[in-house]
């Protein structure tokens, strides 16, 4: 079943949304880095929530607390630093565009540096998602979660 989900769904998710709503695709390279980060934030959140519910039924309060720890700017910056050596030149360029974008908002409880690195990671997530590179996105985030200690290697039993 796991393999069939990958073949049928994850790489086509965005394409299926466009098709289902009769929308035309736009070249992801034309979006501003903050638009990439905006959609990337939603995708990142969906990935976190999917990981957490795979751990079993628990209270929504507990899910929110666990998800918040994984989604805060400091955690996202840590994920970037743990995977930056794995990024292609194109991925690093997208990250830099997101990190260097002039945002008019700030995260609560985060330094400017953490917030900018988080925005860069979210832009990368958005770029990979919009380009249909879901497997690459998931592989990078899994590696980042494992290297930063948020996820035990080989499974989600050790979500911290």
Rounded Cα gap, residues 158 and 150, in angstroms = 8
Report the Cα 63 to chain-centroid distance in Å: 18
Sign of the alpha-carbon torsion through 47, 10, 12, 9: negative
Rounded Cα gap, residues 79 and 63, in angstroms = 20
Rounded Cα gap, residues 36 and 44, in angstroms = 12
> Is 16 a known active-site residue?
no
Choose the catalytic residue: 16, 27, 41, 61: 41
Contact 47, 135 (CB under 8 A): no
End-to-end CA distance of the chain: 27
Rounded Cα gap, residues 146 and 93, in angstroms = 24
Using alpha carbons only, give the angle 96, 137, 55 rounded to the nearest 5 degrees. 125
Catalytic residues: 41
């Amino acid at each position: 079943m796991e393999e069939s989900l990958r073949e049928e769904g994850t790489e086509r998710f965005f394409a299926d949304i466009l098709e289902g709503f009769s929308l035309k695709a736009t070249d992801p390279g034309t979006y501003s880095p903050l638009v990439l980060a905006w959609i990337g934030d939603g995708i990142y959140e969906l990935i976190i929530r999917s990981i957490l519910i795979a751990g079993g039924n628990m209270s929504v309060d507990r899910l929110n607390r666990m998800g918040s720890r994984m989604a805060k700017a400091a955690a996202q910056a840590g994920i970037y630093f743990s995977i930056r050596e794995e990024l292609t030149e194109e991925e690093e360029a997208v990250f830099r565009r997101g990190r260097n974008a002039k945002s008019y908002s700030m995260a609560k409880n985060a330094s400017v540096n953490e917030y900018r690195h988080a925005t860069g990671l979210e832009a990368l997530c958005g770029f990979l998602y919009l380009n249909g590179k879901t497997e690459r996105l998931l592989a990078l985030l899994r590696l980042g979660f494992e290297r930063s200690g948020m996820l035990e290697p080989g499974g989600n039993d050790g979500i911290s």
